[in-house]
Amino acid sequence: MNSSLPVQENVDLAPLLTLRTPAQARFYLCAQSIAEIRQGLEFARARDLPVLLLGGGSNLILVEDFDGLVLHLGLKGVTYTPQEDGSCIVRAAAGENWHELVTNTVARGYRGLENLALIPGTVGAAPVQNIGAYGVELKDTLTRVEVLDRRTFQCRTLTNPECGFSYRNSLFKTSDGQHFIILAVEFRLDRSRPLQVGYGDLARVLESRGAEMTEASVMQAVMEIRRSKLPDPKLIPNVGSFFMNPIVDCRQFQHLQQQYPQIAHYPLHDGRHKLAAGWLIDQAGWKGYREGNVGVHDRQALVLINPGQGRGSEVIELARKIQRDILQRFGVALNIEPVRVPGD
């Protein structure tokens, strides 16, 4: 073992995962620099071990122990470069906390990230599933992503279109992009872009307050709604929304709407409809359900919880039951949102 490299052996990952599932990493390294990332990759290559990238552990389910190197991205640093047109280029390193970045940009009077406040995790993982909330996605302001290629150890920069962003998806989730380690993310924010306030609950809360619409008031409203609806992972282990909102074609939607006139849905530009997975799960009676260590949150049916700190496999077993039930009742397939290791 490279004695200067702080690699640890047999590390308990539960404290590093918001779902708190017990799982051991055979080796663990928190890399603070690009040089340490490269050394970590060399360490794993020399031993023919798989590498798992870890940020804040808020979208990750370890189904079993990891017989390889867990590489925790600890790179830090944020720079603000004001532009002549009044916008600002913000570059944040992968290990920065996402919510802190949002609050710091808002405190400086820049718009663009306020709807994404309180999403747990790191800046480096944010592009992986193109994080989104309250009508805004990361891709709306992201300009570039700096990456290191695990195969060549070389760094390069990807433009927004090269990242292949779509709903909760990106190049980084595909076989073509999984060899990229995200080192830093760059955004263009400004002081005058229209605020996105039309989304359901957000519109209602802002209207009821009647306060001036600023990036700060929007962020406060988002935080208020999130705190009232979503369990704090520090108190009740969870990974946020467990299933993606399913998209169905117009015919299937009309059929469902006839049977369930109240069905929650968002029409898409191409004629299809996005359904609210939480609504389907709630209608099927799963809200508040408990099974051993795991269960479904009693205020938000889309969130599976792990209060008994059960294993990842227990959570996945419950998720499979819910998927089968929703398919049987509504003919709709639910896809799991968080990353599972090992995958299917």
Q: Which residues are catalytic?
A: 168, 241, 337
Site string for ligand FAD, 133-162 (x = CB under 6 A): x-----------------------------
Tell me which residue of 190, 278, 200, 282 sits closest to 241, measured CA to CA: 278
Of 39-78, which residues contact ligand FAD (CB under 6 A)? 52-60, 73
Stretch that binds ligand FAD, among 25-33, 198-206, 233-241, 283-291 (CB under 6 A): 233-241
Q: Which is nearer to ligand FAD, 330 or 338 (CB)?
A: 338
Angle at alpha carbon of residue 97, lines to 95 and 99, rounded to 5°: 155
**Among 132, 246, 278, 310, interactor with ligand FAD by CB under 6 A:** 132
Q: State in angstroms the smallest separation of the CB of 81 from ligand FAD.
A: 22
Going by C-beta distance under 8 Å and a sequence separation of 6 or more, which residues neighbour residue 166? 130
* 39 within 8 A of 2, measured Cβ to Cβ: yes
Q: Where are the beta strands (DSSP E) in the chain?
A: 8-12, 24-31, 51-54, 60-62, 66-73, 78-82, 88-93, 132-133, 136-137, 142-149, 155-159, 180-189, 238-241, 247-248, 265-267, 273-275, 290-291, 294-296, 303-305, 339-341
**Among 113, 182, 197, 301, interactor with ligand FAD by CB under 6 A:** 182
Q: Which is nearer to ligand FAD, 3 or 235 (CB)?
A: 235
Of 11-30, which residues contact ligand FAD (CB under 6 A)? 18
Q: Which is nearer to ligand FAD, 30 or 329 (CB)?
A: 30
* 103 within 8 A of 208, measured Cβ to Cβ: no
How many Å apart are CA 205 and CA 210, to the nearest integer?
Answer: 9
Q: Which is nearer to ligand FAD, 165 or 253 (CB)?
A: 165
Q: Report phi then psi at 229, rounded to 5.
A: -110, -35
Residue 193 identity (one-letter amino acid): R
How many Å apart are CA 238 and CA 126, to the nearest integer?
Answer: 17
Stretch that binds ligand FAD, among 4-12, 125-133, 193-201, 254-262 (CB under 6 A): 125-133
Q: Which is nearer to ligand FAD, 61 or 248 (CB)?
A: 61
Please report whether residue 278 would count as binding ligand FAD according to CB under 6 A: no
Q: Report phi then psi at 115, rounded to 5.
A: -75, -15
**Among 87, 105, 129, 217, interactor with ligand FAD by CB under 6 A:** 129
**CA 281 from chain center: how many Å?**
20
Q: Which residues bind ligand FAD (CB under 6 A)?
A: 18, 52-60, 73, 94, 119-122, 124-126, 128-129, 131-133, 172, 181-182, 230, 233, 238-240, 339
